[in-house]
Amino acid sequence: MKKIAFSLFAVLTMALVSFTAEAQYVRGDVDQDGTVTVGDVASLIDYLLNGTWNDDPVTPPEEHEWVDLGLPSGTLWATCNIGANAPEEYGDYFAWGETKPKSFYSFSTYKWSSGNYNTLTKYCNNSEYGEVDGKTKLELEDDAAYVNWGPSWRIPTTNQLAELCTNCTHADTTMNNVKGVLVTGPNGNTMFMPLAGCREDSLLHGDNLMGYYWSDELISTTSYAAFYFNLSSWRYWFGYRRANGFTVRAVYMPQD
């Protein structure tokens, strides 16, 4: 029995440690402290041998709420921004293609350039703006929703954002003294999106006046800009320079 348990321990350890390479979401992290430890493996072994674990020890629970607006595409939307704990909170600001907030937003600090708008190193379709790679859609490793919230979440596509314009009604309103837009879907369900403004250099601009929400798509003709959803002009999507810090309202994509 000891030999069997030891072999099982070794196999599980090797298998689970392999998941740590995916820093976004570690599977097998039973106590959810960010790493797979001997204690996690012991809990898994106890579950496999004795069936004493009540919850799924491999797949972490979804910790973020979503709403079904009854959209034709079936898209499910998060109820708050990435980095926020309530619908009216602004949350974090991300440069397009970056996955962490920061204190200064410009091409001089942008991850995917060598310091200027015309020295792009990734997601470039025009040689006037940098190294051409033909990429126009964010890869998962550069998707702030996927990296911060896990494999069931994505930054929305332009089609998903446009659907909010054409298939929902919108009303300017406030929630806990924060100005925003109440989006009502065809089925009557709603979500609140705050006018969180944007960050350029070290400053916050337009909060309580405008709302900027990134899509996952580059404007291929210019490359230094990406599509975003503008709440204040309600309600269309435009393109703006990707080094600026905009908010992200993620969409939920259940994993099989």
**pLDDT tens readout for residues 207-247:** 999 999 999 999 988 899 999 988 876 555 677 899 999 99
Q: Which two tokens stand for residue 217?
A: 């798509």
Structure confidence at residue 11 (pLDDT): 43
Give the Cβ contact number of residue 78 at 10 Å. 23
* Nearest C-alpha neighbor of 96 from the set 222, 208, 191: 222
Structure confidence at residue 61 (pLDDT): 46
| Mean pLDDT for all residues in the chain | 83
Strands 190-194 and 178-184: antiparallel
Give the Cβ contact number of residue 172 at 10 Å. 12
Q: Which two tokens stand for residue 71?
A: 């959209």
Strands 76-78 and 251-252: antiparallel
Q: Which two tokens stand for residue 68?
A: 């079904």
Going by C-beta distance under 8 Å and a sequence separation of 6 or more, which residues neighbour residue 121?
112, 113, 114, 130, 131
pTM to 2 decimals?
0.76
Q: Which two tokens stand for residue 26?
A: 């570690």
Q: What is the pLDDT of residues 100-157, one digit of tens each?
A: 999 999 999 999 999 999 999 999 999 999 999 999 999 999 999 999 999 999 999 9
Structure confidence at residue 230 (pLDDT): 87
Q: Which two tokens stand for residue 96?
A: 């397009």
Residue 191 binned pLDDT confidence (cut-offs 50, 70, 90) = very high
